[in-house]
Structure 1
Amino acid sequence: MFRDRQEAGEKLGMELSKLQLHRPVVLALPRGGVPVAAEVAKALNAPLDLLIVRKVGAPGNSELAVAAIVDGEPGDVVLNREIVEAYALDDDELRVLIAKERPELEHRCLAYRGNRRPLSITGKTAIIVDDGAATGTTMKVAVRALKRRSPREIIVALPVSPQETVADLAREADRVICLSQPGQFHALSYHYLRFPQLSDSDVAAAMDEAIRSQKAGQHRSTQHAAGHGSKATTKSKTRDNREK
């Protein structure tokens, strides 16, 4: 059991830091994945971004997904072909259903990311993070969408998920890192001592804070490197003067 999402992220970051990762980019699935991913990005000293997925419900049954749209430049549509065929939906009907959900996806992108552009993952290691996965449906959609963006590798990183879901995700992603795989999986909240519901403003604030901290860390590293370079130059000049 984890104390909260932050602790889950710290532990997940420690596990991921043991791996050889080529130019990692951490992608959080909001809302719950953001506090976890922020800690992972901190541990890996990697850039952090969001991956926003919006479900497209079937006619008359919004809980049953016929597709999902994933933000990006460009965005992606991932179809659930089994459900599409079951409802005998043609291309025009699908376009109408998808068009209904795009405004909400755009609203969330604006609310969570503001005017920041999505990060490119081409040729990089994309690490998709959530606070857990019960069925893994959203995570699978995310993986399938990212495959179209030419990453070097896709890693799914989760604090907790049922064994069967982890096995299912392993067939989609290059690697799955999951800290806890209980045989008897209950609601996700059972695996955290504190598991508050997060609002859109919570997500935006967490992303802003994570990015500010990251930039501050990079600035300190640059200053530190510059300071060492200056000292080395001074020593070199002193040595040259003595030789003269």
Structure 2
Amino acid sequence: MFKDRNDAGKQLAEKLMGFKNKEVVVIAIPRGGLPLGAIVAKALNAPLDVVLTKKIGHPINKEYAIGAVSIGNKYITDSVGASLSYIDEETRRIRDILRQRQDQYYKNSKPKDLKDKIVIIVDDGVATGSTMLATIALIKDEDPSRLIVAVPVSSVSASEKLYNSPFVDEVVCLHTPKDFRAVGQFYEVFEPVLDKRAIQILEESNKRLI
């Protein structure tokens, strides 16, 4: 159990100190990953960036992810019960949201260059793994030298997917509980991170490197 995202970020940072002062870019998955990402980036003296992805929920149960979408990629893990037309419609809708977020997050900056960098992807936890796998696919296209996934907690099934991914060089996961039901289950405080706060965290984190 973590007290909150700050506590989880500090514990994660301790496991990543071997990457301090190297050619690292920390990538947080918005919005919940940003508080942790900022702590990790500060500890490693590295820049912080975001990757914009969002899950596709099942038509009957929106909380159940059948895949994930980025502005350029789509990754489907389980299409049972979801028609192609539903997936296409959701993909278009989600990309409209992501483009708006891209305009918000990069109003005063631009995405970091990831070529030949050690990229550490940080989130507050992994449930199905679909959003993380879509993120990995998106980042791999930018040709990083190494790709590391760092999360405080993951379901057993998602952890297996990450360890088996040919694109991931290392997985740092603090806990893989068998009784996993939801990421928030392992936090005493797990309040939503709003876009305004997420953007503020990103901007403040990178001011240290100017």
What TM bracket, shorter-length normalisation? Answer: 0.7 to 0.9
Partner of 2:112: 119
SS of the residue 2:208 aligns to? helix
Amino acid at match of 1:29: I
Distance 1:21 1:61, change over 3 A: same
Matched, 1:186 2:181: yes
Distance 1:169 1:212, change over 3 A: same
Partner of 1:106: 99
Amino acid at match of 1:112: Y
| C-alpha distance in structure 2 between counterparts of 1:118 and 1:6, whole Å | 24
Greater shift, 171-180 or 61-70, is seen at 61-70
Query: Is the Cα–Cα contact under 8 Å of residues 78 and 144 in structure 1 kept in the other structure?
Result: no
Matched, 1:128 2:121: yes
Amino acid at match of 1:50: V
Amino acid at match of 2:79: I
User: How far does the alpha carbon of each residue in 1:2-31 deviate from its partner, in whole angstroms, 9 at most, with x for none?
Assistant: 121112111111111135885111000011
Distance 1:123 1:202, change over 3 A: same
Q: CA deviation at 1:159?
A: 0.7
Matched, 1:149 2:142: yes
Partner of 1:221: none
Does 1 or 2 have the higher relative contact order (CA < 8 Å, sep 6+)? 2
User: How far does the alpha carbon of each residue in 1:172-228 deviate from its partner, in whole angstroms, 9 at most, with x for none?
Assistant: 22211001111211322221222111111111111122122343xxxxxxxxxxxxx
Q: CA deviation at 1:110?
A: 2.0
SS of the residue 2:150 aligns to? strand
Amino acid at match of 1:163: V
Partner of 1:168: 161
User: Structure 2 unaligned runs (5+)?
Assistant: none
SS of the residue 1:127 aligns to? strand
Query: Is the Cα–Cα contact under 8 Å of residues 37 and 48 in structure 2 kept in the other structure?
Result: yes
The counterpart of 2:197, out of the listed 202, 205, 209, is 202
Matched, 1:80 2:73: no
Report sequence identity in percent: 36
Query: Is the Cα–Cα contact under 8 Å of residues 65 and 80 in structure 1 kept in the other structure?
Result: no
| C-alpha distance in structure 2 between counterparts of 1:62 and 1:187, whole Å | 14
User: How far does the alpha carbon of each residue in 1:151-176 deviate from its partner, in whole angstroms, 9 at most, with x for none?
Assistant: 11111100111233212111122211
Query: Is the Cα–Cα contact under 8 Å of residues 66 and 130 in structure 2 kept in the other structure?
Result: no
Structure with the greater alpha carbon radius of gyration? 1
Query: Is the Cα–Cα contact under 8 Å of residues 67 and 77 in structure 1 kept in the other structure?
Result: no
TM-score of the two chains, using structure 1 as the length reference: 0.74
| C-alpha distance in structure 2 between counterparts of 1:96 and 1:162, whole Å | 29
| C-alpha distance in structure 1 between counterparts of 2:60 and 2:178, whole Å | 34
User: Structure 1 unaligned runs (5+)?
Assistant: 216-244
TM-score of the two chains, using structure 2 as the length reference: 0.84
| C-alpha distance in structure 2 between counterparts of 1:97 and 1:186, whole Å | 25
Count of aligned residue pairs for this structure pair: 208
